[in-house]
């Protein structure tokens, strides 16, 4: 067993470098890819995520605009901003940072984003395109990042049994569709909180994607020797030995699992960096499609 630690930072860096040429090409054609990031409220984690997205755009020569709205912002005010961005020719991707304050209806917000600019891939039109394997649509960035990691490490999916733990629209469901697509050809089981005897089910998997939001839930007894483990979880747990009083862990108990699998993503430094890289890629794709449509 090779026990590969999948380096998401390295792959994301290479992926972003590959985007630079495409961005320069589009800019030369008169259309610089532009991303609008909207943040409602002052959630510290969301502020960090937004800052990293804006910084990543600048590093690649993309245009970005950050809209930091007070937590009292109404649904109507937020929708009005989105409609303004839908009509803005400089903006090709619109991202509303999740989660918004409780009084905001997130589903209604997503429905108001132009599907051609929905670089998060959450609009029902893009969800349908994913299911139909229509590549003009946008796929949520985290599951797309997982697929890119498998590809980068030459990990075969065809004919393999994959278990996806979690059924959210953000990761679990799109991940399952990507793995069962005609490109990937995996056989997929989606597990969740009501799945009976989850460890036994996981032990039959060649590939496990953990996206359930429970710190270090997946232990060594979930893993078939030689399986590939992708850990999508980002959980903050108390740790008084750390300067900040906490540490970040995944949904997989990394130290318990790493010697039982052939490849595993660490947290942090695994899937996380790929999420931003694919957000940038989706924005570049949106720009290219909008440019092509404008030329008729």
- Residue 1: is its pLDDT beyond 60? no
**Is the confidence at residue 281, as pLDDT, over 60?**
yes
236 pLDDT tier (thresholds 50, 70, 90): confident
pLDDT tier for residue 160 given thresholds of 50, 70 and 90: very high
Average per-residue pLDDT in the chain?
Answer: 95
Structure tokens at 97: 């940072």
Higher pLDDT among residues 238 and 211, named by residue: 211
pLDDT at 212 over 60: yes
Q: Is residue 279 part of a domain?
A: no
If asked whether residues 219 and 100 sit together in one domain, one would say no
Q: How many domains does the chain have?
A: 2
C-alpha 196, offset from chain centre: 28
CATH number of 43's domain: 3.40.50.10860
pLDDT of 272 reads 94
Same domain, 221 and 151: yes
As a whole number, mean pLDDT of residues 35-42 equals: 95
Assess whether pLDDT exceeds 90 at residue 243. Answer: no
Residues 178 and 264 placed together within one structural domain of the fold: yes
Residues 50 and 161 in one domain: no
- HEC letters along the chain: CCCEECCHHHHHHHHHHHHHHHHHHHHHCCCCCEEEEEEECCCHHHHHHHHHHHHHHHHHCCEEEEEEECCCCCHHHHHHHHHHHHCCCCCCEEEECCCCCCCCCHHHHHHHCCHHHCCCCCCHHHHHHHHCCCCCCCCCHHHHHHHHHHHHCCCCCCCCEEEEECCCCCCHHHHHHHHHCCCCCCEEEEECCCCCCHHHHHCCCCEEEECCCCCCCECHHHCCCCEEEEECCCEEEECCCCCCCEEEECCECHHHHCCCEEEECCCCCCCHHHHHHHHHHHHHHHHHHHHHHHCC
> Residue 122 domain-assigned?
no
Residue 264 lies in a domain: yes
pLDDT at 138 over 70: yes
Task: Output the six-digit token pair for 168.
Answer: 């959210």
35 and 103, same domain (yes or no)? yes
Tens digits of residue pLDDT in 76-122: 999 999 999 999 999 999 999 988 999 999 999 999 999 999 999 99
- pLDDT in the model for residue 2: 60
**Domain span at 244:** 141-272
Q: What pLDDT does 183 receive?
A: 97
* Domain at 180, CATH number: 3.40.50.720
> Looking at the annotation, which residues are catalytic?
53, 97, 120
pLDDT for residue 35 is more than 60: yes
Q: Which of 111-115, 147-151, 241-245 has the lowest mean pLDDT?
A: 241-245
| pLDDT given for residue 42 in this prediction | 86
Residue 47 has pLDDT above 90, yes or no: no
């Amino acid at each position: 067993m090779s026990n590969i630690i999948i380096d998401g930072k390295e792959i994301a860096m290479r992926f972003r470098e590959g985007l630079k040429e495409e961005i320069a090409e589009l800019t030369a054609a008169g259309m610089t890819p532009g991303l609008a990031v909207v943040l409602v409220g002052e959630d510290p984690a969301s502020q960090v995520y937004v800052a990293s997205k804006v910084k990543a755009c600048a590093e690649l020569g993309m245009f970005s605009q950050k809209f930091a709205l007070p937590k009292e912002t109404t649904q109507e005010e937020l929708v009005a901003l989105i409609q303004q961005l839908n009509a803005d020719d400089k903006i090709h991707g619109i991202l509303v940072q999740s989660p918004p304050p409780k009084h905001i209806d997130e589903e209604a917000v997503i429905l108001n984003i132009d599907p051609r600019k929905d670089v998060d891939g959450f609009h029902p039109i893009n969800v349908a395109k994913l299911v139909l394997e229509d590549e003009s649509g946008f796929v949520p960035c985290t599951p797309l990042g997982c697929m890119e990691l498998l590809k980068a490490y030459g990990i075969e999916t065809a004919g393999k049994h994959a278990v996806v733990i979690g059924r959210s629209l953000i990761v679990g469901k799109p991940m399952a569709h990507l793995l069962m697509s005609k490109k990937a050809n995996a056989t997929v089981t989606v597990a969740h909180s009501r799945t009976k005897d989850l460890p036994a089910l996981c032990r039959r998997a060649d590939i496990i994607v953990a996206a359930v939001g429970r710190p270090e839930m997946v232990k060594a007894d979930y893993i078939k020797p030689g399986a590939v483990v992708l850990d999508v979880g980002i959980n903050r747990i108390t740790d008084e030995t750390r300067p900040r009083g906490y540490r970040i862990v995944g949904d997989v108990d990394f130290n318990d699992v790493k010697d039982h699998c052939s490849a595993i993503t660490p947290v942090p430094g695994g899937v996380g960096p790929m999420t931003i890289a694919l957000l940038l890629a989706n924005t570049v794709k949106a720009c290219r499609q909008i440019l092509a449509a404008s030329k008729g």
